[in-house]
Amino acid sequence: MDDYPLLNLFWTMLWFFLWIMWLFLLFKVITDIFRDHELNGWAKAGWLIFCILLPYLGVLVYVIARGRSMSQRDIKQARENEAAFQSYIRKAAGTGGDGTGSNVDELARLAELKEKGAITNEEFEKAKAKVLS
């Protein structure tokens, strides 16, 4: 323990943490390069080569040059994911959300009409079979 003092351990951990954070940023930049639809293929290739050949400088320049649009793409992706999730919940819950009504709503309306006597039991069964098919 005497050959590796506590301060050296602290510095090693600090540099390791910074290296891991840089790796996360590098992967974030690379995924953003591929996700950006405004860049053409040559621009994507150029940024990618720049980030691979000169990784620290490439990532730093990319974040400075395209950081704002990078965050806008993240926000857009989050909104699209949220909308897809909400759509899935509506579909799974059976509340279409598109104004056409769902099978559950239609069956509830038919049951209410049957209880009020507006339709006969035979008409209810026919309509129920039609809704469920």
Confidence of residue 89 (pLDDT cuts 50, 70, 90): confident
Whether residue 52 is found in the same domain as residue 114: no
Quote the number of domains for the chain.
2
Dihedral-angle region of residue 82 (phi above 0 means left; psi in -120 to 50 means alpha; beta otherwise): alpha
- Based on the domain organization, do 61 and 3 belong to the same domain? yes
Express each pLDDT in 56-80 by its tens digit.
899 999 999 998 899 899 999 999 9
Q: Which domain holds residue 125?
A: 101-133
Give the C-alpha separation, 28 to 105, whole Å. Answer: 45
| 112-115: long-range contacts, CB 8 A cutoff, minimum separation 24 | none
Residues in contact with 121: Cβ distance below 8 Å, sequence separation at least 6, in sequence order: 114
Predicted confidence band of residue 99 (pLDDT cuts 50, 70, 90): very low
Residues of the chain above pLDDT 90, percent: 44
Residue where a domain terminates, one of 46, 67, 88: 67
pLDDT of 132: 82
Dist CA 57 CA 65 (whole Å):
12
Q: Last residue of some domain: 67, 90, 109?
A: 67
Q: Which of 31-35, 61-65, 113-117 has the lowest mean pLDDT?
A: 113-117
pLDDT score at 98: 52
Instruction: Note whether residue 4 is domain-resident.
Output: yes
Q: What is the DSSP letter of 119?
A: S
**Within-domain flag for 63:** yes
